[in-house]
Structure 1
Amino acid sequence: MKKLFLFLILLFSFTAIVNAKGVQTKKYNHIVSLTLSGDEMLLGLVPENRIAGLSGKINEDKEISNIVDKAKKFTKVEGNEEVLMSLEPDLIIVADWLSKRITDIGAITGAKVYFYKTPNSYEEQKKLIRDLANLVEEKENGEKLIKNMDDRLKALQNKIAKNYKGAKPRILMYTSFGTTSGKNTTFNDMVKLINGVNVVAEAGIDGFKDISKEKVIELNPDIIIVPIAKKYDNVNKISKLFFEDPSFKNVKAIKNKKVYFIQYKDITPTSQYMINSIEELAKVVYQFKE
């Protein structure tokens, strides 16, 4: 009986050790993201117990973030180097537009710093998800996210082809800052994916640029998309810029009352939630019902 009891204790101890080691089989288990896009991708790829911290309170802003509830439980770095170092990260995920100073912090903490290129297209977004999934050793989860995106895009494109037979809608994005998106932007790619024409890209304008009232009149879009954050932007005030300016009266989008306001989070994410944005854009452009 004693031998059996001793054997069971040894067996339990061995199993506990194996299981404990299994939890740490991944290379990175104390990951920190410093951007909202990184936060969104990370939460879609790894278990929460592998995340040490996220970017900031921006990920709890329902006007901008797709992960409001999930993000609440994590420490927010808010660009504070001391907070970042206190989290003792082993991997720091950073967008290419952030300060290279993060590399120095990585050297101090011993963490790997992963700078990712901000996607300018749907395909680049999928590649980023796949690359990040491989880095954090969650390849299967990455492929699930990508399959979900591709399946939904295919269904959406089939719906457009079935229900819309007219000329390609000519679309312009106009922000409350008086800027627009041309070639080599996610917005341009999203428009193409829903069988539309981005009039700014068509005019040869590249990237994010200021756009004058005269240029809007010249481009004469069928539809104008205005990204907004309701608590920051006065929709009525922005509407007046279009509908109460007599110089705009012959612009098709204004004349036909096809100026649409869309929340930033529904039109601009560079994460797996890009597919949500594509669906939302199509819903507005083609006036699809739920």
Structure 2
Amino acid sequence: MDLLLTGCQSNTPAGDTPVRRESSAAESQPAAVASTSASGPGLTPQQRLMLLAENIEGTAADETVGQPYTYLHIQTWARATNAITRTDLRRWRHDADGSGQEIVRRLPELAGVTHRPGRDEPKQLAHAPETSTRHLANTLHPYLPEPLPTDAGTLAGALAPRELAAEPAYPRMLAGGIVTLAASQYLDREQRATVLRVLASVPRITYLGHTSDVVGRRGLGFAVSADGSTSQLVIDPRNGEILAAREELTERRPGLFSYVLILERGRTNGAGISARP
């Protein structure tokens, strides 16, 4: 099953240098056990996510805490009234002062809202004309203030107001907050584990089994349906990273609402540098 969703690791589009290396077989062994147990029969979606949170491994980028810039490379497909926008964004943010750089590439908008990202589009986006912007101090802000809460309940409250928990739209809001957080700032191993625990608390979450994103990266799929919307997430069972997420509207003007690929994340010594940690 291929999910075309709204998330770094292997299968980076041509022309980009990975920010971090693949984990070795020895490093992957504990997560291989976690993957097997989390995808086994007879478990609820909540149990699967809690197992993942307990057993995910670290990444090489988790160890580069001394490097001053966090780096994210994402591609997005998003609804804009009667069209789908297509954007490739690479962002370097200086953690201490909020300065940095963004390199943005765009493909022409596509009319209508039924488009699904094709396998060739990520490479096309990676080679589209670019615009580079330098940001002064205090202009690039994280989605949530750092350090992030280590308690899942507190983090959930920061992502979606608790007073709305009884509203039909709350599961959609919380799932959307999780995706936006993962696509906006670097999350280390402990933070990824907390995010998985928050995802386990989303009402009516379902498990989709093994799946893949538009560039072929394999993961475990989870879905949240609420308020006329269905969000699907692909999660790497080795390290708990959200690889991709798609949101489809199912009632009002049905079709694609957003698709996010999180392609790379890590830390570097300077803006504009896409180097292995």
- TM range, normalised to the smaller chain? under 0.3
Which protein has greater RCO, CA pairs closer than 8 Å, 6+ apart? 2
Query: What TM-score, normalized to structure 1?
Result: 0.25
User: Which is strand-richer, 1 or 2?
Assistant: 2
- Determine which structure has the larger helix proportion and give its number: 1
Which has the higher Rg, Structure 1 or Structure 2? Answer: 1
